[in-house]
């Protein structure tokens, strides 16, 4: 029985308010409108940015919402004017649009897009308009995606069509974490062969940054984390050395400077902590060192002494690894299928949508790299 054109009732994990467990509810998902597609979500990762919204950002206008922005699924139906997708296509929802028309999309220097939720709602992390209702209330679509739901509706400019051979319970991680870290190294930092890199924070994003440094030909990749359990995993992705700041009684930038004759060529901050951002900058060598902010946060100012930059360091940021979203995700899926990219190795736990709170707790307590929840049968 076709569901096209009808409201779908389905299961979703609803965050009714900040700093509280999500609740598995039956929600109504409206049919796609013009230029929209409705997607059956098959699998989703849990990313730290979901936790950031729930426990740190906690913007009062950002709830109730369905979290999740690292998913993969199958097109169920399309709205009027959609030509790029048809029912049955395998897709990855994107939290950054690629309309291909705006001045940002047309500029090769950026992957930002003027269209989509992020253009002016980065604090609330959702647009006011939503296709979700629950118990008579509008429920927001977090980051425009909401992958903690069996169905979601998205504008076609924020959906990537992927190879039908791709396993959705693996490539869902290319919707955020893996592309974010990997691209920060290869696209934003532009790591060069033979260089020395330091990656701060060895969650999924940091491990992906390590993998990006290796792919770019870095000779030394120093992994920095206060959890020594992460070090063996980092080796899998290409880390050559490990430093635990807790093992030293001096600042980490001084430790790295001693190890590298003055500092690293590239550093990547994959935590989202303004103090760590400063340490990462100060760990770079003067003259040409480049430090990239990758971890998402919008709560505090960062600080550094001007001499750090006057001396020739570059401090820059990266969103979604600098990948233009539709183009980048489709290519990264192909690279994974061609065995040029590790993805399976990031998955530490396989769970179900009903276990959403358990998956969130694992991430909150740093007990997982990526938990992937199965949402609907493929």
Taking only the tens place, the pLDDT of each residue in 73-124 is: 999 999 999 999 999 999 999 999 999 999 999 999 999 999 877 666 667 8
- The per-residue pLDDT for 176 is 96
Confidence band of 280 (pLDDT split at 50, 70, 90): very high
Q: What are phi and psi of 96, to 5 degrees?
A: -120, 130
Which of 165, 142, 148 is closest to 89 using CA atoms? 165
Mean pLDDT of 1-12: 92
- The per-residue pLDDT for 57 is 83
**Tens digits of residue pLDDT in 188-239:** 999 999 999 999 999 999 999 999 999 999 999 999 999 999 999 999 999 9
- The per-residue pLDDT for 120 is 66
Share above pLDDT 70 across residues of the chain, in percent, rounded to a whole number? 98
Share above pLDDT 90 across residues of the chain, in percent, rounded to a whole number? 90
- The per-residue pLDDT for 46 is 96
Residue 156, C-beta contacts closer than 8 angstroms, at least 6 positions apart: 35, 36, 37, 78, 82, 84, 85
* Residue 250: exposure state from Cβ atoms within 10 A (0-12, 13-18, ≥19): exposed
Residue 229, C-beta contacts closer than 8 angstroms, at least 6 positions apart: none
- The per-residue pLDDT for 126 is 84
- The per-residue pLDDT for 320 is 96
- The per-residue pLDDT for 121 is 64
Residue 88, C-beta contacts closer than 8 angstroms, at least 6 positions apart: 74, 75
CA-angle at 129, arms to 128 and 131, nearest 5°: 140
**Among the residues of the chain, which ranges form H helices?**
48-51, 168-171, 177-183, 204-215, 230-237, 252-259, 274-282, 306-310, 325-337, 356-364
Mean pLDDT of 264-290: 97
Q: Which residue has the higher pLDDT, 163 or 52?
A: 163
Distance, in Å, from the CA atom of 197 to the CA atom of 104, rounded to the nearest integer, reads 30
Q: What are phi and psi of 187, to 5 degrees?
A: -95, -45
- What domains sit in the chain, N to C, each tagged with a CATH number? 8-177+322-374 (3.90.180.10), 189-317 (3.40.50.720)
> Virtual CA dihedral for 183, 41, 13, 65, nearest 10 degrees?
60
Mean pLDDT of 168-194: 98
Query: Average pLDDT over the chain, rounded to whole?
Result: 95
- The per-residue pLDDT for 91 is 98
Does residue 166 have a pLDDT over 90? yes
Does residue 1 have a pLDDT over 70? no
Instruction: Report the DSSP pairing between strands 71-78 and 36-45.
Output: antiparallel
- The per-residue pLDDT for 377 is 87
Question: If you search the block for the tokens 């039908």, which residue do you land on?
Answer: 164
Mean pLDDT of 20-33: 97
Distance, in Å, from the CA atom of 125 to the CA atom of 325, rounded to the nearest integer, reads 18
For residue 64, whether the previous peptide bond is cis, meaning omega lies within 30 degrees of 0, is yes
- The per-residue pLDDT for 65 is 96
- The per-residue pLDDT for 350 is 97
Mean pLDDT of 255-262: 98
């Amino acid at each position: 029985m076709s569901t096209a054109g009808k409201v779908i009732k389905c299961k979703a994990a609803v965050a009714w308010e900040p700093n509280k467990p999500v609740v598995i509810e039956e929600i109504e998902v409206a049919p796609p409108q013009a230029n929209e597609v409705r997607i059956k979500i098959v699998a989703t990762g849990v990313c730290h940015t979901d936790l950031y919204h729930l426990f740190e950002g906690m913007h009062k206008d950002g709830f109730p919402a369905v979290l999740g922005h690292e998913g993969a699924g199958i097109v169920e139906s399309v709205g009027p004017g959609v030509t790029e997708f048809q029912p049955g296509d395998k897709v990855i929802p994107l939290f950054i649009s690629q309309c291909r028309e705006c001045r940002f999309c047309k500029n090769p220097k950026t992957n930002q897009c003027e269209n989509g939720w992020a253009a002016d709602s980065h604090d609330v992390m959702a647009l006011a308009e939503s296709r979700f209702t629950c118990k008579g209330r509008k429920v927001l679509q977090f980051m425009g995606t909401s992958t903690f739901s069996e169905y979601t509706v998205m504008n076609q400019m924020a959906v990537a069509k992927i190879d039908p051979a791709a396993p959705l319970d693996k490539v869902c991680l290319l919707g955020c974490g893996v592309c974010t870290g990997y691209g920060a190294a290869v696209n934003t930092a532009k790591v060069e062969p033979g260089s020395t890199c330091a990656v701060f924070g060895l969650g999924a994003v940091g491990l992906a940054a390590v993998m990006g440094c290796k792919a770019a030909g870095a000779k030394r990749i120093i992994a920095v984390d206060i959890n020594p359990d992460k070090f063996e995993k980092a080796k899998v992705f290409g880390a050559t050395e490990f430093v635990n700041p807790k093992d030293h009684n001096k600042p980490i930038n001084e430790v790295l400077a001693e190890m590298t004759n003055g500092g690293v060529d590239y550093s990547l901050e994959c935590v989202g902590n303004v103090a760590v951002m400063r340490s990462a900058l100060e760990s770079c060598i003067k003259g040409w060192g480049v430090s990239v902010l990758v971890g998402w946060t919008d709560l505090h100012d960062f600080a550094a002494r001007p001499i750090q930059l006057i001396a020739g360091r570059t401090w820059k940021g990266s969103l979604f690894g600098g990948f233009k979203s539709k183009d980048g995700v489709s290519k990264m899926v192909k690279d994974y299928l061609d065995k040029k990219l590790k993805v399976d190795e990031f998955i530490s736990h396989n769970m179900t949508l009903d276990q959403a709170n358990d998956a969130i707790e694992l991430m909150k307590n740093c007990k997982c790299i990526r938990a992937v929840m199965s949402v609907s049968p493929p």
